[in-house]
Structure 1
Amino acid sequence: MIGMVTKEQILEALKEVSDPEIGMDVVNLGLIYDIQINGDRVYIKMTMTAPTCPVTPWILAEAQKVIENLEGVEAADIELVWDPPWNPSMMSPEARAELNL
């Protein structure tokens, strides 16, 4: 399908969305659990570092916005999940190094 967005493009776009409390993007934090593409719709399962994260609504809105701005994406549906619970081992090696973990 010509013009269909790829998972790699979605992940690159999501790197623009950072957790403002940590100062790290949601991809390198390991918050993106699953990406499914169905034509021009994108479905994402993601989590937060903690259920009490006060910026959760903002992060979800920003993630949806950057995905829907991609060429070939009509809509993005983001599901917030808590299973499995996030932990620092889910971070990229670069993120763990940057945060001295």
Structure 2
Amino acid sequence: MTSGPAPEWAVRALSDVYDPCCREKGISVVDMGLLRSVAVHDGHARVELLLTSGWCPFAARVLTDVEEAIGAQPGIDSCEVEIVWDETWTPDRMSASATRALRFLPDPVAVGDRDAYLSRLTRGAQP
């Protein structure tokens, strides 16, 4: 069994599996960048996932949801999902849509006239 990037069918299957911490924002494990690889050999799928934190309280739920989604695909007889501990998840793994959905601060901007900028902000205008 060789491991590699996830095939398109697996990406589609996991696009409806949500990171529990981001479910209300509609961010899947794929968009969150948690999927590392999917390999299939003789009907057995092996999925590697990263976690955003080693302390993720929902890891068991994510593993179960991923196993069920992949296991339901045609040609898959069994599935195992493993957490990758030797690679750290970083925000640059997120899709553009996930990054936008989780953006808490506006993009930085250059401010030519500090006083005018602050005045607009205090009046409720956008910079």
TM-score by length of 2: 0.70
Look up the match of 1:22.
22
Q: How far apart are the structure 2 equivalents of 1:76 and 1:50?
A: 23
Q: Over alpha carbons, which structure has the higher Rg?
A: 2
Match for residue 31 of structure 1 among 31, 34, 42: 34
Q: Which has the higher strand share?
A: 1
CA RMSD of aligned residues (A): 1.5
- Per-residue CA deviations over 1:37-59 (Å, capped at 9, x if unaligned) read 11311111111110111110011
Listed as ranges, the gaps of 5+ residues in structure 1 are: 1-5
Runs of 4+ in 1 over 2 A off after TM superposition: none
TM-score by length of 1: 0.87
Q: Which has the higher contact order (CA 8 A, sep 6+)?
A: 1
Match of 1:8, as an amino acid?
E
**Count of residue pairs brought into register by the alignment:** 96
For 2:53, what is the secondary structure of its paired residue? coil
Match of 2:55, as an amino acid?
T
Look up the match of 1:49.
52
Look up the match of 1:78.
81
Q: How far apart are the structure 2 equivalents of 1:70 and 1:62?
A: 13
Look up the match of 1:99.
102
C-alpha displacement at 1:82, in angstroms?
2.1
Q: Which has the higher helix share?
A: 2
Percent identical residues: 27
Match of 2:7, as an amino acid?
K
Look up the match of 2:67.
64
C-alpha displacement at 1:35, in angstroms?
1.2
Match of 1:44, as an amino acid?
V
Match of 2:89, as an amino acid?
W
Listed as ranges, the gaps of 5+ residues in structure 2 are: 1-5, 105-127
